[in-house]
Each structure stands twice: as C-alpha cells, then as structure tokens.
C-alpha cells in the first residue's frame, strides 16, 4: 500500500554535480606536470610519436611508451647509463604501484557495490557519479583520522606491522607476467619467490596482534598464523602440479606452456584439464584463506573477535592494512591466473587482437569478483573446521592432484588422460562426500510434527 511508485515523491533526482576538491587538485597537478614537460621543447617530438606508435600497436603499448619516456629522459635529462637504468626500473615500479593503487581503489568500491547489490541495496552512491569518488573520500577520511595507539601496546611493533604487511604484498607483484614481455622481473624461480615472500605476511599479522596488547588482537593473530601456515601447503602443492607440467618455476614459462588451442578453439589452459580444474578450485580456496577473505576471514572475524588483529588500528595504519590485504588478494589471484587460466592468453583465437595485459587484468578481476560473490554468500568457517579442512582434505587432495597430473602427463595429455586422471580426482571427492554425509546431515534432517 505504501510502497507504490506513486507514493514516492521524488524531490530531486540527483544532487547537483560539483567538482570535489580532491579531483580539482588532481586535475591541476596533471595540467601543471604536462605544462612543465611541454616547456622542454624536445618532449613533444619524442613523446608524441611514441604515443602514436603505442596507439597503433596496442599490444606493445606499455613497452613503447616506456621506451619513448626513456628516450626523452636520455635526451633531455639523464646522461648516465646507471641512472637511466634506475629510471627504467622506477618507471616500472611507478606504473605497477599506480596501477594496483587504482585497482585497489576501484575494487574497494566495486566490492561495496556488489555486496550491496547482492544484499538488495544500492551501495555507496553519494560521492560523485555512482559513488565513483567514494575511494577518494574514504582515503581522505582514513588520512585525517586520529591514529590511536593503545597505552599498553608495543609501539614499535604496532607501528611496523602495517609496513611489514604491505611490503611483501607489493614485492610479489614483480614476478607476475602481465603480458608477453611485460614481466617486471623475469625470475626463473618466480613461483618460489612468490611463496617465500607471501609467507612473510604471517609475521606482520602476528606483529599486529602481539603489538596491540589486546586479547582480541592476539586471538586473531593466533588464528591467522595457524590458518596461513596451513593453507600455504595446499597452495604450494597445487602450484607444484603446474610446475611439474610446465617443467619450470618461471611464471613466464608457465604461461607460455598454456598457449595455443586444442581443436582450434579450446584454450590449452591448465584449468581445462581434469587435474587442473580440481587444482584451480583448490588453489582458489587456499588463496581465499591466504588472503583472509570470507569465508576464511577468521583473523578478523567480526562477529566474535570484533576485528581481530585490526582491532586496535585506526587511521592510516588501518588503511595500510586494508591496502595490503587487497594487494595480497590481487597478487594471489594474479598467480592463479598465471598458473591455471593461461595468463595473458585470450580464451578464444578470434579474441587474440585484444592485448594480453587486458586479458590478464580481466581474468584477475573476474577472480576478485568471484571472491566478492563468495563473501556475499557464505558464513564464516570455524577455526577447528578450518584446520581440519586444510590438513584432512586440502593437503591430501593436493597430493592426489599431483598424482593425477602425473597420470595426465604420462598418458599423453589427451583423451586417455581424461579417462585416467578424472577418476583419480573424483574418487577422493566422492569419498569426502560420503564421509561428510555420515558426519553431518548434509541433506537436511527429518522433523516430526505435533498435530496437537
């Protein structure tokens, strides 16, 4: 009766568009920088052709732009080859940082929007069109908030924890192959590097929990340690299967091993093999646990531990944790794309004209969206179940997958492989199903009714 459309009096359709100060400052900065660059008269002559070339050849665009910029620096500013090398590294780092910074801002908005839509709400829509400037507003809010350090806290550890958290998260971005020739650091042991650095996050979480001198924080940190160490193993085991198949620890080699199409249109991604799909699902679950994402967000499980290891953090330190968690999520999703979803390769041959880095980020974003979707659906898992799940299911399943991958490899990676590898993967799953339905009434219980 009340919710009829006719009763909704729309006084104003949208608030009038005004330029928020932060955007004005950003635009002014860009204009000033551009003007400064143009004052050096060589700039247009070098940068514009590079930009034009990049436009014509989009798949090479990042490299061409970087080359143009380096040329410009070489002719106008820097003569020493050492500093030029340094500048080259700096350009890569700056690009990565700003790219993932923007992605972080975007994801924090998209996450809130998607969660809101899942929950039948609008989500943030007040700051800017469709709430686009919400991340900026959030950032400003975080920056100007008071930074509270508890009196009993270990101040050094409390301060260092967010820094220690964010550094490895950023470092691991260096080894991901974003496109053909677009790997910042082409390490031959890239996967090893990734896991080695990824494991240091646990130290940061424990630092946060211990340094806060808060019982909730400590409990959260203990949970985080147990969880992350347990889930490293299935993560590594499933990655190991891929490493076995590709015969290399180098992410670039792994992506290249997934190039090509069978039957002309099915991409040769590892996720499209019987062992690979299982490994991918397992990897993704473990990745969610590793990134402290729901349903494995126990360290900050807000319904029991208030905010876990983040309880005593506020202001910019909290924002740094937030940033580190998202970057960690991107990194691990990027690794999942590299290992299983063919990295920069297009899903169909006809789509190959789209540059590889776009495919990489599209896949990455799809995985992030899946993580958000899962977060909007499931309740949180319990500590002991989490450990049982890791040690009693994920790790044995990881071994099974290695077995299946070997069977796939030695049976020629064809139809015979499907016949042999599929049961190896499926059988333990069905056994698990059996065991679960013995332990829990997984298909519901029967209830009696009193007719009274």
Partner 1 sequence: MTQLYQQPRINGSIQPNQEPVTDTDMSLNGTTKYHHETEVSGIADPAPANRLSSGVPDAVPETRLSARPTAGEYGNTPERRPFRLPGSGIVQGMMVTARNWFGSYFDRKRLVTVQYPEQQIRPPENSRSIPFLVYDGDDPDAGLRCVACHTCEKECPPQAISIVGERDENGKPARRPKVFDIDISVCMGCQICAEVCPFDAIKMDHYLDHSSLENFQSLILGKTRLSKSNAYFHTINSTDATAVDARLEADRKKKEAARQKRAAAK
Partner 2 sequence: MIAIPDCSFNTTENRDPAAELLELSLGPQHPSTHGVFRMNAVLDGETVVRLQPVFGYLHRNHEKIAENVSYLASIPYTDRLDYLCSLTNNWAYALSVEKLTGLDVPERAEYIRIILAELTRLQNHTAFLGFLLGDMGAWGTALMYGFRQREKVLDLFESLTGSRMMSNYMRFGGCRCDFPEGWLEQARTVIDEYPEFLDEMEQLLVSNEILISRTQGVGAISPERAINAGLSGPILRATGVDYDIRKVDRYGIYDRFSFRIPIGDQGDTYDRMMMRLLEMRESLKILKAAIDEIPDGPIVNPKAKLRNLRPPEGEAYGRIESPKGELGFYLISDKQPQPYRFRVRPPSLINLTLLEEMSIGHKIADVMVILGSIDIVLGEVDR
**Where on the chain is the footprint of partner 1 (CB under 8 A)?**
1-3, 5, 7-15, 114, 117-122, 125, 373-374, 376-378, 429, 432-434, 436-437, 441-452
Residue by residue, DSSP assigns 304-323 as HHTTGGGTT--HHHHHHHHH
| Cα 110-203-381 angle, rounded to 5 deg | 55
Helix (H, G, I), strand (E, B) or coil at 266: strand
- Residue 373 partner contact from partner 1, partner 2, none using kind-dependent CB cut-offs of 5 to 8 Å: partner 1
- Which CB, 130 or 351, lies closer to partner 1? 130
- The sign of the dihedral angle between the CA atoms of 165, 170, 172, 173 is positive
Contacts of residue 256, defined as CB under 8 A and 6 or more positions apart, other chains included, come to: none
Check binding of 444 to partner 2 (CB under 8 A): yes
Q: Beta-strand (E) ranges in 120-218? A: none
- Kindly state the tokens that stand for 91: 């350009």
Number of residues counted as binding partner 2 (CB under 8 A): 46
- Residue from 41, 119, 151, 264 touching partner 2 (CB under 8 A): that is 119
Cis peptide before 399 (omega within 30 of 0): no
- The piece of 280-288, 319-327, 369-377, 395-403 that touches partner 2 (CB under 8 A) is 369-377
Helix (H, G, I), strand (E, B) or coil at 347: coil
- Residue from 134, 258, 294, 338 touching partner 2 (CB under 8 A): that is 294
Integer Cα distance of 248 and 263 in angstroms: 26
Site string for partner 2, 164-203 (x = CB under 8 A): ----------------------------------------
Query: Are 198 and 332 a contacting pair, CB within 8 Å?
Result: yes
- Which CB, 7 or 151, lies closer to partner 2? 7
- Residue 306 partner contact from partner 2, partner 1, none using kind-dependent CB cut-offs of 5 to 8 Å: partner 2
- Which CB, 54 or 329, lies closer to partner 2? 329
- Residue from 383, 402, 403, 418 touching partner 2 (CB under 8 A): that is 383
Query: Are 388 and 409 a contacting pair, CB within 8 Å?
Result: no
147, containing H or E segment: none
Other C-beta atoms lying within 10 Å of the C-beta of residue 438: 9
- Which CB, 410 or 429, lies closer to partner 1? 429
- Kindly state the tokens that stand for 204: 């940061």
In degrees and rounded to multiples of 5, residue 237 shows phi and psi of -65, -45
- Residue 432 partner contact from partner 1, partner 2, none using kind-dependent CB cut-offs of 5 to 8 Å: partner 1
Please choose, from the candidates 175, 117, 114, 108, the residue with its C-alpha nearest in 3D space to the C-alpha of residue 318: 108
- Which CB, 415 or 449, lies closer to partner 1? 449
Site string for partner 2, 297-336 (x = CB under 8 A): xx--xxxxxx------------------------------
Integer Cα distance of 436 and 101 in angstroms: 42
Q: How far is the CB of 215 from partner 2 (least distance, A)?
A: 5
Contacts of residue 99, defined as CB under 8 A and 6 or more positions apart, other chains included, come to: none
- Residue from 26, 189, 378, 431 touching partner 2 (CB under 8 A): that is 378
- Residue 303 partner contact from partner 2, partner 1, none using kind-dependent CB cut-offs of 5 to 8 Å: partner 2
Site string for partner 2, 400-439 (x = CB under 8 A): ------------------------------------x---
- Kindly state the tokens that stand for 415: 């139809």
Contacts with partner 2 by CB under 8 A lie at: 1-3, 115, 118-121, 215-216, 219, 223, 294-295, 297-298, 301-306, 375-385, 436, 440-445, 447-452
């Amino acid at each position: 009766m009340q919710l009829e459309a006719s009763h909704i009096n729309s006084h104003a359709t949208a608030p009038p568009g005004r330029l928020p100060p932060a955007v004005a400052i950003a635009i002014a900065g860009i204009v000033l920088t551009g003007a400064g660059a143009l004052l050096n008269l060589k700039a247009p002559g070098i940068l514009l052709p590079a930009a034009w070339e990049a436009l014509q050849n989009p798949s090479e665009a990042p490299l061409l732009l970087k080359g143009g910029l380096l040329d410009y620096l070489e002719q106008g500013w820097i003569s020493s080859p050492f500093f030029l090398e340094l500048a080259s590294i700096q350009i890569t780092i700056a690009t990565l940082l700003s790219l993932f910074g923007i992605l972080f801002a975007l994801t924090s908005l998209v996450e809130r929007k998607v969660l809101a839509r899942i929950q039948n709400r609008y989500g943030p829509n007040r700051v800017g069109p469709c709430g686009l400037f919400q991340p900026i507003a959030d950032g400003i809010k975080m920056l100007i908030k008071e930074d509270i350090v508890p009196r009993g806290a270990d101040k050094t550890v409390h301060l260092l924890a967010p820094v220690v958290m964010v550094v490895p998260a950023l470092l691991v971005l260096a080894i991901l192959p974003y496109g053909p020739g677009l790997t910042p650091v082409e390490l031959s042991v890239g996967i090893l590097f990734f896991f080695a650095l990824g494991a240091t996050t646990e130290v940061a979480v424990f630092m946060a929990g211990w340094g806060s001198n808060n019982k909730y924080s400590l409990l959260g940190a203990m949970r985080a340690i147990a969880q992350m160490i347990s889930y490293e193993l299935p993560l590594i085991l499933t990655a190991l299967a891929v490493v076995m198949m590709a015969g290399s620890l180098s992410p670039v080699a792994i992506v290249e091993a997934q190039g090509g199409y069978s039957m002309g249109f099915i991409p040769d991604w590892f996720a499209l093999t019987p062992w690979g799909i299982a490994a991918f699902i397992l990897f993704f679950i473990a990745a969610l646990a590793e990134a402290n994402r729901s349903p494995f967000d126990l360290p900050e499980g807000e319904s029991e531990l208030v905010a876990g290891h983040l309880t005593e953090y506020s202001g910019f330190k909290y924002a740094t944790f937030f940033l580190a968690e998202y970057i960690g999520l991107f990194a691990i999703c990027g690794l999942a794309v590299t290992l299983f979803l063919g990295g920069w390769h297009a899903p169909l041959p006809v789509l190959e004209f789209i540059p590889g880095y776009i495919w990489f980020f599209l896949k990455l974003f799809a995985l992030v969206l899946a993580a958000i979707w899962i977060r909007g659906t499931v309740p949180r898992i319990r500590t002991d179940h989490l450990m049982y799940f890791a040690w009693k299911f994920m790790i044995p399943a990881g071994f099974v997958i290695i077995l299946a991958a070997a069977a796939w490899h030695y049976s020629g990676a064809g139809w015979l492989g499907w016949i042999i590898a599929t049961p190896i993967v499926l059988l333990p799953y069905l056994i698990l199903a059996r065991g679960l339905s013995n332990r829990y009434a997984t298909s519901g219980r029967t209830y009696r009714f009193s007719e009274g």
